[in-house]
A and B are shown apart, each in its own frame.
Chain A
Amino acid sequence: MEDELSFSDIYGGRLALQRRYYSPSCREFCLSCPRLSLRSLTAVTCTVWLAAYGLFTLCENSMILSAAIFITLLGLLGYLHFVKIDQETLLIIDSLGIQMTSSYASGKESTTFIEMGKVKDVIINEAIYMQKVIYYLCILLNDPVEPHGISQVVPVFQSAKPRLDCLIEVYRSCQEILAHRKATPTSS
């Protein structure tokens, strides 16, 4: 089963949430941001080049123009490869664990896996972020030393920053699976 819902992020941009239900104990959530738009790319390039041209008319050194070209190219490459995340995926499997994948615009992927034994709970929390107060989804990890303690808080969907309605959707599904796991502790 697969469906797609449309939400927005905390800045008001559009986000698409794809849910894939492979089986009752395995679900995948995929949040995709809109791709890098031609308009913003043009806007940034034009500003850099106009500024460079302004400098060039002042000091009449052609080095500036070539530097501007290199800066835009390298900046674009770096941005696509290290900053811009197109898609964030949360895969939760009852008996195995939780896998978070973020794919960059250049195609690079980074994956984190947390095994189910370490997961204490999945919660929605509030935080002060920049000049905002936002909700975020996070995974609490068990403390190996202290049975009731929490060793770490891992935030999910860090770059997409969806709004609360989207988080609740994901949270409900995760809780269903976690409850399912707790109901059958002997099998795992």
Chain B
Amino acid sequence: MAYQGGGGHDHGPSPALYPVSPESLFTCRTHNICMVSDFFYPNMGGVESHIYQLSQCLIERGHKVIIVTHAYGNRKGIRYLTKGLKVYYLPLKVMYNQSTATTLFHSLPLLRYIFVRERVTIIHSHSSFSAMAHDALFHAKTMGLRTVFTDHSLFGFADVSSVLTNKLLTVSLCDTNHIICVSYTSKENTVLRAALNPEIVSVIPNAVDPTDFTPDPFRRHGSMTIVIVSRLVYRKGTDLLSGIIPKLCRKYQDLNFIIGGEGPKRIILEEVRERYQLHDRVRLLGALEHKDVRNVLVQGHIFLNTSLTEAFCMAIVEAASCGLQVVSTRVGGIPEVLPENLIILCEPSVKSLCEGLEKAISQLKSGTLPAPEKIHNIVKTFYTWRNVAERTEKVYNRVAGETVLPMDKRLERLMSHCGPVTGCIFALLAVFNFLFLTFLRWMIPDSIIDVAVDATGPKGAWTNQYPYGRKRGGDNETSKTR
């Protein structure tokens, strides 16, 4: 919930929010968006905060956004979050790892009821691990709504479980209108996994909340400090780190290391510390919570990233936002992330990384490094949620102009695209789903489903009752002009 608090501070009562609202009047259309994922607060993680922050920024831009997730313990029913973000916690059974069981059918009555009463136009599903997201996509296509899917993770191709997930993903995404990935590496991965047309896949990176990662030069140690925050696993290059530490410590007597994170390779670092008697200069902090990361980062001058493979490295953005000089390996999508003057890129070898670090240290000693405040001010413009929301909005605009495949075309696509056996099975399931929907429409026609009162969006009831008098006046005006 740390994010929520931060978010509230960021765009709550600040007057900077308001210039956005008249602007959204001129954009051609607003959408009714329904975010579906098994993962949402109170569960914590990257997907959860992504959905929350994106929804908040979309609301700010004048769209109507609701979130559908499953019930978490006692938290079920309908809740409202900041700025009238409406969350449906549906009473569906959780099967494994916070993901609901899927039969492809049992969630249709409730989801259909919600889609109809909220007058949803675009379904935006998140995370390929979420069964509910796939269910919602399946139902939305049957109901003829437009669909967008965001993939948050990388997969392999070799083991049994990824083969099965990839097949499921192929089926689920073959008739989805648009797919969003968080980096180019992830796009490549998804396109290959789900055998997609790359033209319908967009890349929109994640964002950092710059207010969570601010520099604080007074917390820095007197002597030079290098900070490493990563899981201590092979993929993150912990072995390289164990080579770098003794070499640099011998060369510079006033150099310290702070290492945050936990993992199977921690033992190597402990050995190194033991052998070279570096207990006072290398601090191992163990596992860190996300909210503590900033407090660790601000203690250092240089941030070192030794990853061997990386889709989109959030850690270096966070470190740069805290005003640290970043030294990193040149792998995966890392060179795209920061401009050259803020990062020193090295080959993934001990020698090259040491050279990079020495370069950074000499810059630090001569005082040619830019001030932390300055770096923060540059970085905070790079990856903002507002920017992510703008780009997502463009995807929505594009999708809104597309047509949803009618039933016969959809069946054809399923059978031609997903292999003879899987294709036929899922085509049959799609037909059953359609029949079930027809039955539901006969039982409860759309006309007797009450239209929900909008909390957000152009006619949002929430913003019209904003507690600040001045703002309320402004809002009434805008609603009149609408």
Contacts and interface: CB of A to CB of B under 8 A. Distances in A.
Contacts of B444: 11-12, 132
B76 A131 contact: no
Identify whether the interface residues of A are mostly helix, strand, loop, or mixed.
strand
A127 B71 CA distance: 13
Given A133-B78, A133-B88, A126 B452 contact: yes
B90 A128 contact: yes
A10 to B, nearest CB: 7
A11 B450 CA distance: 11
B448 interface: yes
A164 B454 CA distance: 13
A12 B448 CA distance: 6
B91 interface: yes
A131 B109 contact: yes
B448 A133 contact: no
Interface in A98-149: 126-128, 131-135
A181 interface: no
A138 to B, nearest CB: 13
A84 B109 CA distance: 26
Interface string B81-124: 00000001011000000000000000001100110010000000
A128 B79 CA distance: 12
Given A126-B452, A128-B78, A164-B450, A133 B110 contact: yes
B64 to A, nearest CB: 16
A8 interface: yes
A60 to B, nearest CB: 39
Nearest to A126: B78
A81 interface: no
Interface residues of B, number: 18
A132 B90 CA distance: 11
Interface in A3-21: 8, 10-12
Contact of B91 (A10, A128, A135): A128
Q: Most B CB atoms within 10 A — which of A8, A10, A128, A164?
A: A128
A172 B144 CA distance: 37
Contacts, number: 41
A11 B88 CA distance: 22
B420 to A, nearest CB: 35
Contacts of A126: 77-78, 452
Interface in B352-404: none
Interface in A151-170: 163-164
A135 B449 CA distance: 11
B445 interface: yes
A126 B450 CA distance: 11
Interface string B451-472: 1110000000000000000000
Contact of A8 (B77, B448, B451): B448
A165 to B, nearest CB: 8
A164 B452 CA distance: 9
Nearest to B109: A131
Given A128-B77, A128-B78, A133-B88, A10 B113 contact: no
Nearest to B440: A131
A12 B90 contact: no
Contacts of A134: 450
Nearest to B448: A12
A93 to B, nearest CB: 29
A126 B77 CA distance: 8
Given A131-B113, A132-B113, A12 B76 contact: no
Interface in B423-457: 444-445, 448, 450-453
Contacts of B90: 128
B109 A133 contact: no
Given A133-B88, A133-B110, A133-B117, A127 B78 contact: yes
B10 to A, nearest CB: 28
A128 B450 contact: no
B445 A131 contact: no
B109 to A, nearest CB: 4
B448 A11 contact: yes
Contacts of B453: 164
A115 B451 CA distance: 33
Contact of B113 (A127, A133, A163): A133
A128 B76 contact: yes
Interface of A: 8, 10-12, 126-128, 131-135, 163-164
Given A128-B88, A128-B91, 4 more contacts: A128-B76, A133-B88, A164-B450, A164-B453
Ranked 7 nearest A-B pairs via Cβ: A131-B109, A12-B448, A164-B450, A126-B78, A163-B450, A131-B110, A132-B113
Interface of B: 76-78, 88, 90-91, 109-110, 113-114, 117, 444-445, 448, 450-453
7 contacts: A12-B448, A126-B77, A126-B452, A128-B76, A131-B109, A131-B110, A164-B451
